[in-house]
Amino acid sequence: MKNIIIIILIAFSSAIIFSVNGCVASDKVKAKSGIQLWSENCMRCHNTPSPNTFSPEQWETVGMHMQSRALLTNDERDKIVKFLQQN
């Protein structure tokens, strides 16, 4: 019985560690610019929209919506939206 509890605790601890590490963006991803993230992420599912398709305010809304669909971090979303708003 004691061994089973130890095995369960180890499995649970491992699951927590792996899930937390999986949520942290790598340095390679953090170094990417907004245009890189835009071209890599938006083209996965549809044609890349032109930056002048929407107003800066509309890009904020689109960014929030697409963040959950494309599984973007807040930083990635912010970089993409900033790029789209400036162009």
**Max Cα-Cα span within the chain:** 64
Distance CA 69, CA 56 (A): 20
Across the range 12-37, mean pLDDT stands at 72
User: Residue 6 has what pLDDT?
Assistant: 76
pLDDT at 33 over 90: yes
Residues 72, 23: contact at Cβ < 8 Å?
no
Phi, psi (5° rounding) for residue 43? -75, -10
Round to whole Å and give the CA distance between 35 and 32: 8
Neighbours of 39 (CB within 10 A): 15
Q: Which amino acid is at 32?
A: K
Please name the residue that has the structure tokens 């959950």. 68
User: pLDDT averaged over the chain?
Assistant: 83
